[in-house]
């Protein structure tokens, strides 16, 4: 894997954590966007873990790198790290497709098992969105009646809201006191009403959540923007 982080202290700490994990064979370091792109071209890694803000501009280098790799390194999994739950950055990350993309808060990196699980998920082509980022998006719900989410019943909205928190089907069933089969029926109905094509369930779930969150946002919403 390639790790891109301009803070030497954090980068070294992450390298120490990751290299001790049995699932990680090698970590190549990069300190800025140019080094990241060069390392990926040279090493052809399975996955990238990158700060969302790095030199030269400290704005959205991680997002731009992830977009660049869609064409230069198809199939490469990318997880970006941010100090803040920036809803707009998260949506920008998956604007070109959610497959193999992840967005985590830096506070998660101390849990190496969770971090490695996220890296494995994007390597498999899945998507990982930090629950706090999902929460930040959901706080702006104001326009259910104006978008495709209006097609959903109250119960379907409730199910989709729980999916957005990362809950599994069994967890949703327990929360709503219904059977797992009932939850599956609700989810299939949600996919149908949101016009999501057939495909891998994990991808459809992420697309449904993103549609739900984007449709729920208010014009002029703001996202906390600090240095990543």
Q: Cis link prior to 56 (omega < 30° from 0)?
A: yes
Task: Report if residue 26 sits inside a domain.
Answer: yes
Same domain for 201 and 146: yes
- Domain boundary (95, 130, 165) is at 130
pLDDT band at 32 (very low <50, low <70, confident <90, very high): very high
Mean per-residue pLDDT over the chain, rounded: 84
Same domain for 16 and 122: yes
Give 58: exposed, middle or buried? Use CB within 10 Å, 0-12, 13-18, 19+. Answer: middle
Task: Report if residue 228 sits inside a domain.
Answer: no
Task: Report if residue 68 sits inside a domain.
Answer: yes
Summarised one tens digit per residue, pLDDT across range 94-124 is 877 888 999 999 988 889 999 999 999 999 9
H helices of the chain, in order, are 8-19, 33-43, 61-72, 87-93, 112-123, 131-138, 154-164, 169-176, 180-193, 201-216
Same domain for 70 and 38: yes
Tell me if 160 sits within 8 A of 196, measured CB to CB: no
Domain extent, residue 160, equals 140-216
- Cβ contacts of residue 82 below 8 Å, gap of 6+? 51, 52, 53, 62, 89, 103, 104, 105, 106, 228
| C-alpha span between 38 and 90 (Å, rounded) | 24
Summarised one tens digit per residue, pLDDT across range 135-145 is 766 654 444 44
pLDDT, average across residues 23-47: 96
Same domain for 108 and 90: yes
Same domain for 101 and 20: yes
| C-alpha span between 187 and 91 (Å, rounded) | 22
Summarised one tens digit per residue, pLDDT across range 128-176 is 888 887 776 665 444 444 567 778 888 898 898 888 877 889 999 998 9
The closest of 59, 50, 207 to 118, measured between CA atoms, is 50
pTM (global) more than 0.75: no
Specify the CATH number for the domain of residue 94: 3.40.50.2300
Same domain for 85 and 17: yes
Total domains in the chain come to: 2
| C-alpha span between 152 and 150 (Å, rounded) | 5
Task: Report if residue 183 sits inside a domain.
Answer: yes
Same domain for 154 and 124: no
């Amino acid at each position: 894997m390639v790790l891109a982080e301009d803070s030497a202290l954090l980068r070294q700490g992450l390298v120490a954590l990751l290299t001790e994990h049995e699932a990680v064979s090698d970590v190549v370091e990069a300190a800025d966007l140019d080094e990241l792109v060069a390392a990926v071209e040279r090493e052809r890694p399975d996955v990238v873990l990158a700060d969302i803000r790095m030199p030269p501009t400290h704005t959205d280098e991680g997002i731009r790198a992830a977009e660049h790799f869609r064409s230069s390194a198809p199939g490469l999994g990318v997880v970006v790290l941010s100090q803040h739950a920036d809803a707009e950055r998260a949506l920008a990350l998956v604007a070109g497709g959610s497959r193999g993309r992840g967005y985590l808060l830096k506070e998660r990196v101390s849990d190496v098992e969770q971090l490695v699980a996220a890296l494995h998920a994007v390597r498999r082509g899945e998507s990982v969105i930090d629950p706090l980022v999902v929460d930040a998006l959901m706080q702006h719900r104001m326009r259910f009646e104006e978008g495709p989410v209006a097609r959903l019943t109250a119960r379907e909205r409730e199910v989709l809201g729980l999916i957005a928190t990362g809950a599994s089907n069994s967890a949703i069933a327990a929360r709503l006191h219904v059977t797992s089969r009932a939850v599956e029926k609700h989810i299939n109905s949600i996919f149908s009403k949101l016009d999501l094509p057939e495909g891998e369930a994990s991808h459809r779930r992420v697309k449904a959540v993103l549609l739900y969150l984007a449709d729920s946002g208010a014009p002029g919403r703001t996202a906390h923007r600090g240095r990543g």
